[in-house]
Amino acid sequence: MTEPSRRLFFALWPDAPTLEAVLAALRRNLPRGIGRAQRPDQLHLTLEFLGSVPESRLQEVLDAGAALSGRTPRFEIVFDKVEHWKRPEVLCLTASATPEPLAAFVQALRSELLARGFEPEKRPFKAHLTLARKVRRPPPLATLQPLPWPAGEFSLVESTTDPSGSRYGTLATWPLAS
Ligand code: 2AM
């Protein structure tokens, strides 16, 4: 029998004021009805996508997250552009600059996963917030007022699918250093 697996990724969830600010900016700047919009309550920033992980290895992933609990200083990402990425057909918010602590944090996460026998992403990390999928052509894009996203914690998230699309549920959350 094949072992059950879980589709996992590490992510940042916005706090309530940040989510409000992002949604307000989207209402002002984005044309309606493009592609399949990310549900507002599911807007997140992926730090590291693991994909399908056998159920029996979930604890190792949790251990990788726990190993970084409270170790990285808090940081703030400033989203300042809306970009259309042609190949994945997504529309996303991006940041011109990746804060050093964020880059270091993603590197540390990858090292913890590698040390436990996972195969982390090798491509450089690019902070982005997917707003809509299945966007084939770039819509007219207005310039964006810089949107600060303060990060004080990180989460392990599970992606499940139902007829209306992907659902993201938090399995565990750890703090960054205060
Ligand atoms: P995205 O916003 O860049 O598409 C759950 O699927 C999350 O993991 C998505 O938000 C997605 O980020 C991210 N992810 C990264 N690599 C992925 C991949 N190869 N397949 C599916 N999702 C991926």
Residue nearest to atom 7 of ligand 1 (CA): 46
Domains of the chain: 5-173 (3.90.1140.10)
Give the model's pLDDT for residue 32: 78
76-124 pLDDT, tens digit per residue, is 999 999 999 999 999 999 999 999 999 999 999 999 999 999 999 999 9
Residue 141 above 90 pLDDT? no
Q: Which of 98, 127, 129 is nearest to 25 (CA)?
A: 129
Q: How far are the Cα atoms of 5, 30, 39, 157, 160 from residue 165, in angstroms, in the given order?
A: 18, 22, 10, 16, 8
Q: Which atom of ligand 1 is nearest to the CA of 44?
A: 10
What does each C-alpha distance from 68 to 9, 12, 28, 133, 173 come to in angstroms? 15, 14, 37, 31, 11
At 161, the pLDDT band (50, 70, 90 cuts) reads very high
Name the residue of 6, 8, 9 to mutate for ligand 1: max ligand atoms within 8 A of Cβ.
9
Q: Tens digit of pLDDT for each residue in 1-26? A: 788 999 999 999 999 999 999 999 88
Rounded to whole angstroms, the Cα distance separating 131 from 96 reads 17
Give residue 139's pLDDT.
85
